Structure 1
Amino acid sequence: MLRVKTSVELKNKLSNTLRNWLPILQSSLSDLGEAMAPFVESNPLIDIKSGYEESFESRIPKKIQYGYVQNSHSEAIEALTVQHKSLFDILEEQIDGSLFPTPVSQLIAKHVIENLDEGGYYEGDCDVFCRNEGITLEQFEKIRLRFIHVEPVGIGAKSVSESFLFQLESADIDDTAYSLAREMITHMDELGRYRKEEGFDEAMRVIGSFKNPPAIDFLEDSQQVIPDLMIYNDPDEGIEVRLNDRYYPSVSIDAEYRVDHPFVREKFKEAKSLVDALEMRKATLYKVGLMIVEYQYDFFIGGAIKPLTLKTLADEFGHNPSTISRAIANKYIACDRGIYPMKDFFTTAIDEDVSNAAIKDYVAELVRNESHKKPLSDMKLLEMIQDKFKITMVRRTIAKYRKQLNIAGSSERKQLYLLGRT
């Protein structure tokens, strides 16, 4: 059993220490030194040695850098310890799925990706592309608009307003504010006239959270991905979880301060707390790693990721799911299948007990068993889901899940059934 039980003492220590040093838990490994800087600057007893003083490449064995690795899972994972992922890389990973299942849709998706400006907007000449490839503009636009389901959301749009409409589809917003937000986005220069409309404040809150440009987080050529954990899968030894602690900054406390003074005592106490915070960060992420491996064991031996909610982990730690969400944000796991954000091993929660993966599975099951003469509408699917899971949702969410599952609308499915194509 990989999972270890957390003692009451460790839970209390985690709570007390990380409450005071939460930025250290939340920051990515590459940003850890920056998160610690304010605490260090105000404490003359602390000396920090960066975990990045050597070049990243110098830490990777030469035979790995130059591709001379043979049959070594451990060395392959070490080679992944530092990885640069560009926006192009991240988009390429998403166009092989159900959103772009045909050669034509793949061709169009690749064209869109290759013709994004640095902000993530499409700036290609679709007329020339369609003429050269024998594709109609209607076909092109139908495929391009599927980027509404691609992350980062808003990518592939032709304008700010279209990018905002893309982002609106993924926003947490009620139906009244959603309808108003759509209209406001199409009249961005006249927002003042909507001020008295019901849902205005909610619509403004959501619109204000959108990213412009949509690729703002990728304006640099690449982003450094430094995994906190490395998962080794040895055929003989089994699966092992290791902390990537070689990149942690080291903290030393100046023991020469022997003066018995309230200021020195306070700073010494803060310095010890900082060391504790680093150790608690390691302990927390290590245990998260153990639990991910236990719950997602099939993935690490070549299978698929299973539905797993943050609540499951939160219950193990005795914390709120939002605390665990912050703990895994911007954290990565390296294994022999690549480098993955920790959040990828969890399904997004609809509420505390129901994951969106469970909803999608149920939608697929309902459609699989529906009447061919009277396919289920999105409204009917919504009613059945709300009845089964005892939750409140909106029809747009069902439509989004259906499209992500590559399931046609009810009228289109009825035509397919009549044609004998299921």
Structure 2
Amino acid sequence: MALAAKLQLRQSQSLVMTPQLMQSIRLLQLTHVELERFIEEEMERNPLLERAEPQDEPGEPEPPAAERTDAAEGDWFDESESAWSAEAMSEKLDSSLENVFPDDPGTTERLAPDLAAQWKSVGAGGGSGEGVDLEVLTAARVSLRDHVGEQIALTFADPAARLIAGELADGLDETGYLSVDFTEIAGRLGADASTVAAVLVECQAFEPAGIFARDLAECLSLQLAQRDRLDPAMRALLANLELLARRDFQALRRLCGVDEEDLLDMMAEIRALDPRPGMAFSGGASDAIVADVEVRAASDGSWAVELNADALPRVLVDQVYFNRVSAKARDQAEKDFLSECLQNANWLTRSLDQRARTILKVASEIVRRQDAFLVHGVRHLKPLNLRTVAEAIGMHESTVSRVTSNKYMLTPRGVFELRYFFTAAIASAEGGEAHSSEAVRDRVRHMIEAEAADAVLSDDAIVDLLKADGVDIARRTVAKYREGMNIPSSVQRRREKRALAVAGR
């Protein structure tokens, strides 16, 4: 068979993901904090992007120069020395520190001299006090490692013991637990395990009580020992925490050798302890939730859906700067760079606008379909899926999925993630309208909260009650909902309610 070359014309379609298109898709699923971070990075790379400053709101007219001078001087500024008044500075520092640490005067006394020294140096250098933010200075929190380090310096005079204590402190996690084996530290430092163990015992006496523990039982034991409440009965209770988690009170009474009233008192003491003592020094900052959409009642009885202005990044393309710089471009490479920056800047602003419009469109459709929830509450939440919303607004289901991910809506009933309004449907026992799984979960929770000690509802009983109310649900689904809300089984709840009822007599 002879081989020959020939030309053929073929027509086909394909979807090409350009970098700009990929960027637009990525912007849809970014949270407010991530979007702000992304824009800051783009502004560093692109000189044509700039923040749009909000318009200055009309306010009170600026006072005359003489009035401004008098107000600025007052008790804060000593004109003769062009420096901060020492008396006023001390008084202001003490007042601010007491507001930040109202229950810890020791912290106030410890921080005040350092902050006063910093403030005095700044004021003496400039005289105007600009750049000094007292709230930033006083808001600095002491870390767990620093807090423990101070106690190590005061407790151990021997350099070797101080070194071992420092190694132990480095092994603390954020909750205050010792996350490394002290025998490992002994091998690394070339010390006896008994010496390290002795240092560990002294470290376990540090504040807050419970740090340097190696497990939950030891953490609670350290706190109880400090309160002089670690008796044999309490030791037996801490040795059987798994029975306490299962609420097996009968076995605990037998092991601890106490009656029901004493056991309840011991359980109350356990609940008053802190299982994670180191978290009080956690300095990690969490991102605050910023609602992307706000929903409020309109005057005509409908709902007004608006984008949150604080969550909308204000980015502009500096066309004037582009015209001025491009006119002075020396070669083609510079012109190409400026053209690329202008193209990327224009695309980013259009993508941000499209993102805002898409979020508003999806949120408006959600509000339209979940009107009963906004009026009456979670019991009236309707089943809803992504495809229903996508078809209603003429978008792809994947686009709606990206829009609803990590986006929040501020409603008269609180702040909810957009995903919250998408719930599975549970069939009606009477063949009517389906029920939202979230609404059914709320019914289960309220049923259990309202049950009495002598009438605890089993999962089967909850199923019967729901079916009588028109909800066709399986027992395993009720159990799944209950476990998802961290609600124990009926057997465990009955034990606890009976014990609480006996204690209340």
TM-score range, shorter chain: 0.3 to 0.5
- Structure having the higher Rg: 2
TM-score in terms of structure 2 length: 0.37
TM-score in terms of structure 1 length: 0.43
Which of 1 and 2 has higher RCO (CA within 8 Å, sep 6+)? 1
